[in-house]
Amino acid sequence: MLPAARIEAVIELMAEIAASERPAEAVVSAYFRSRRYIGSKDRAAINTRAYRVIRTYHRLGWHIARAGAEVNARTLVIADLMFEREHSLASLESVFSGERFMPEPLSAEELKLAKALDRQNLLHPHLPLREKTECPDWAFESLERSFGAAYEAELEALHAPASVDIRVNTIMAARDNVLAKLKKDGFEAEAGKLSPVAIRVAGRPQLSQHEFYKNGTIEFQDEGSQMIAVFAAAQPGTQVADYCAGAGGKTLALAAAMENKGRIVALDVLGDRLEKAKLRFRRAGVHNIETHALGEPGDKWPKRHKNYFDLVLVDAPCTGSGTWRREPDRRWRQLGPALEELLETQRAVLESAQRLVKPGGRLVYATCSF
């Protein structure tokens, strides 16, 4: 693809992300699946620019509005091009030529925007703190209050792309052996600093094609998420419920900690997610996991399992602010009024889950929010 065609692809992609309720990652995946002709280098370039625009969305938007232009897919990409110093005004107009596969010509408003941003810096001296730190309106006051003097540094840390963390399935192999093999295969990898089963791999490795992923020896999972299972400390031979199991990542971590002994019930209100999770369970060689979809009319399962489990893990629905580094678009998808509904959901989930814990058992409650 020509550079201009890549830019047009980013504009298309940003428009689709803005129009969709799905996470950006899902939109990006669908975009490339429907365009198999786009090669790996072009996909990487398009993906890099699109995510850079998402990560700097608030800052770009401030500059665009300040110049009197509308914030949309085209103006966001134009602003990104100008701040990256990739084009002069003349070369920018040649890119936006309207020729086949290239962006439509710049409008008068877009040309005015490009001129206003020419040789400007993204971190403008008058840029408000909220925009500078890419913090949504609904979270700004509470996070500034919580972090205090460390607020700016904490939010700045969320701007960088996330690392690639994997969890070693200790049912299959030991971490040291997996780490040694990955290094031998040319991956720049190191043991995690917190989780005893984590490995961090540098760059953007294609591990989904590696034998370890295909045979269930490794799973993609942030080290922070792995630590939830570490703190839960599920023991072999016990009865465990993963109350908001979702795609089953933490369920698998619990199963490995239990050495495939005992019983885990993966619970979720979304039955289709549990069905997909079963594929992961089989690939990982796990046979102590059952699944149950909650919320069906007349469902007697919760009542039958009252005071039953040694351990109940609740990874509750939340704002996901702790995942902003990996899912930068998520900070713009949670609106203020929905927070109260989310709190009610969390209360209801906790109330239901605690009934499953037997006397002397433990309930572990976790969120991926600050």
Domain range annotation of the chain? 3-127, 161-220, 224-366
pLDDT (mean) for 311-340: 81
pLDDT band at 43 (very low <50, low <70, confident <90, very high): very high
Q: How much is the pLDDT for 211?
A: 96
Q: Do domains 161-220 and 224-366 have the same CATH topology?
A: no
At the topology level, CATH places domain 161-220 in Alpha-Beta Plaits (3.30.70)
Structure tokens at 159: 């701007």
pLDDT (mean) for 53-72: 96
Q: How much is the pLDDT for 340?
A: 78
| Contact present, 265 and 291 (Cβ < 8 Å) | yes
Query: Which one, of 207, 176, 212, lies nearest residue 191 by Cα?
Result: 176
Architecture label for domain 224-366: 3-Layer(aba) Sandwich (3.40)
Q: Is residue 254's pLDDT more than 60?
A: yes
- 74 versus 318: the higher-pLDDT residue is 74
Collapsed DSSP state (helix, strand, coil) of residue 281: helix
Q: Is residue 341's pLDDT more than 60?
A: yes
Q: Is residue 335's pLDDT more than 80?
A: no
Q: Is residue 219's pLDDT more than 70?
A: yes
Q: Tens digits of per-residue pLDDT, 348-370? A: 999 999 999 999 999 999 988 87
- 298 versus 142: the higher-pLDDT residue is 142
In this structure, of 154-158, 213-217, 251-255, 320-324, the range with the lowest mean pLDDT score is 320-324
Q: How much is the pLDDT for 295?
A: 84
Burial 96-133 (b: 16+ CB within 10 A, else e): beeeeebbeebeeebbebbebbeeeebeeeebeebbbb
Rounded to the nearest integer, the mean pLDDT of the chain is 93
What pTM was computed for the model? Answer: 0.84
pLDDT (mean) for 182-207: 94
% of the chain residues with pLDDT over 90: 78
Parallel, antiparallel or unpaired: strands 198-201 and 189-191: antiparallel
Structure tokens at 160: 């960088």
pLDDT band at 268 (very low <50, low <70, confident <90, very high): very high
Q: How much is the pLDDT for 260?
A: 95
Tell me the residue length of the chain: 370
Strand order in the sheet with 198-201: 189-191, 198-201, 164-168, 218-220
How far apart CA 59 and CA 53 sit, in angstroms, is 9
How far apart CA 181 and CA 75 sit, in angstroms, is 46
% of the chain residues with pLDDT over 70: 99
Q: How much is the pLDDT for 337?
A: 55
- 18 versus 89: the higher-pLDDT residue is 18
